[in-house]
Amino acid sequence: MDIIETTTKLLALFNSKQNPLFDERGAQIIELANKWVKLNQISPLSQEAAEQYLEMSSKNLYALMFLYSLLGQSKSIKLNFDQLVKQITQSELHPNEKFFLYNQLKSLSFQGLNAISKSELSALYTDILSSFNSYLAPSLRYISASERNNNLVIVFTGQFLGMQHAPSKTALDRIRVLIETLNKEVVFINTCELLTAAGAIPWYGSTISTRYEFEQQIIEFKGCHFKFAQCSKAMPNLQEMASILDVVKALRPSFTLTIGESLLADISSQIVPNLVIATVFSSLPYTRSQFRVIGRPVTADDSKFLEEQNLSPEGVLESLFTFDFKPQTHHYTRTELNLPSDKFVVMMVGARLDSEITTAFIETLRPLFNKGVCFVTVGQFDCYERYCQQIPGFEESFVHLGFQEDILAVLECCDLYLNPPRVGGGSSVAEALYKQKPVVTLNKGDGAVTAGQAFVVEDDELLVETICRYKEDAAFYFAQQQEAEQRAALLTNSDKAFAEVIQLAFLNTLFDLPWQVPTKS
């Protein structure tokens, strides 16, 4: 069966307008899709054929969504994802289905796999939010600052996985500051909204978040104790959302704090103000709450985006994004990690290295292959073995260590940290600086914002030149180590940075101003 026949047979399974994921067609769709991916690697589907199949699928949204996700696996096919997002927004799909797709599309965008405009994703998010808010808003009343309990804060997060998870660490560290430095009582709620399975429809390579079962109702972190509650994996749903909103109304907190985005927290912002700390802190989140905290100055593009969304720039609070690390418990030698003792070791860390260390990026690094440089990768890098077989010189220049429990200990054995081109990467950059390892990063994403200008380069050529300079120029390397130490001191001072953000919010007129979130007309 060739790729044309496979594609035709696959689309024939979408023979009704009902979601086929959970009937007998679901397993068949996945089986044929996996076969399609293998066939496409041998004989890629043409752009013309792809466009014809998209046209054929245009009347069945489930077929169209799945086809987009499948064709997105092919690097030779150009797709208009903005058009897809617009179609989802305007469709009659259930809000949960739209939210499932929003999360999948946002994940693709974060990985840099497909370009999707912020305006279209924001419009989709607002459409979903307004659907839920239409049911919930009538029972909500804004609570003025004078009526609130100034000693209490509710903290929301869309996912909580413990100390191994960077956004979870961010939540815990901010909670510590609220309790220890600002003398607040905290209630911590995991809304379980991130990459939820609720509303799932066929989407090739879909990502569903992990939900850990936590039995404790009190969490202890660095000597601070606080109440903890967790929603079900069926979120978002109106019943649970209404229950949590009732809790907010009853407790009357001074404000709520959200790590990442949350439909529930945005709706709650109509009761008390909500501060949103973006997990991708180098860009504006799509929240409709009063405040969004980002780690850099507002740009002209940001101002334009806020104006398009009818949001006030007054609600953007600039703050240095700070970090808390899992304590180091080991000390390794290069021999123990199978790293060469006679080479300049450059480390890269990530959970999505397959999409970040591309063949194009490897070619950028090729001039360093024969100059005594060894690249070490840590994390998810399934392409490693294939690259070793297919790319000349790769196996001799790269060592893959897989996932490591103690990143700080591994960093001790390296000379330099390289942040590959990506949107994220801030946590790993901060960890490297903390271990006084200089960083090289292009001027984009969280990695660049975290590193600061002393460690940013503007293009690929300068990136290679700078790595060479670190290897050859001992005085430069030492000076940059001192810069790393100073930068790390700022990046780990959450008490100062976060307390300043809270003060900015307190003094802002939006902190005591009735607030409305869009509803469906």
Do 468 and 416 form a contact (C-beta atoms < 8 A)?
no
Q: What three-state secondary structure class fits 203?
A: coil
What is the C-alpha to C-alpha distance for residues 440 and 511, in angstroms, rounded to an integer? Answer: 39
CB atoms within 10 A of CB 206: 18
CB-based burial of residue 14 (10 Å sphere; 0-12 exposed, 13-18 middle, 19+ buried)? buried
Residue located via tokens 């305007």: 90
Angle between helices 61-71 and 47-57 (to 10 degrees): 160
Give the pLDDT confidence score for residue 316 in this predicted structure: 94
Give the pLDDT confidence score for residue 113 in this predicted structure: 56
Q: pTM for this structure?
A: 0.87
Do 420 and 377 form a contact (C-beta atoms < 8 A)?
no
Q: HEC profile for 412-470?
A: CCCCEEEECCCCCCHHHHHHHHHCCCCEEEECCHHHHHHHCHHHEECCHHHHHHHHHHH
Residues of the chain predicted below pLDDT 70: 111-114, 521
What is the C-alpha to C-alpha distance for residues 231 and 470, in angstroms, rounded to an integer? Answer: 48
CB atoms within 10 A of CB 67: 26
* CA proximity to 498, closest of 262, 169, 228, 176: 176
Contacts of residue 19, defined as CB under 8 A and 6 or more positions apart, other chains included, come to 62, 97, 201, 202
What is the C-alpha to C-alpha distance for residues 260 and 309, in angstroms, rounded to an integer? Answer: 19
Give the pLDDT confidence score for residue 182 in this predicted structure: 96
Give the pLDDT confidence score for residue 239 in this predicted structure: 97
Residue located via tokens 């290295």: 353
What is the C-alpha to C-alpha distance for residues 501 and 110, in angstroms, rounded to an integer? Answer: 26
Cα distance between the two ends of the chain: 49
Element (H, E) at 497: helix 494-506
* CA proximity to 225, closest of 184, 268, 266, 277: 184
Angle between helices 95-110 and 118-136 (to 10 degrees): 150
Do 196 and 233 form a contact (C-beta atoms < 8 A)?
yes
Give the pLDDT confidence score for residue 363 in this predicted structure: 96
Instruction: Summarize pLDDT for 182-201 with one digit per residue, the tens.
Output: 999 999 999 999 999 999 99
Do 333 and 413 form a contact (C-beta atoms < 8 A)?
yes
* CA proximity to 277, closest of 240, 316, 326: 316
Q: HEC profile for 274-335?
A: EEEECCCCCCCCCCCCCEEEECCCCCHHHHHHHHHCCCCHHHEEECCCCCCCCCCCCCCCCC
The partner residues of 346 in beta bridges, in order of sequence, read: 375, 416
* CA proximity to 225, closest of 274, 179, 276, 177: 179
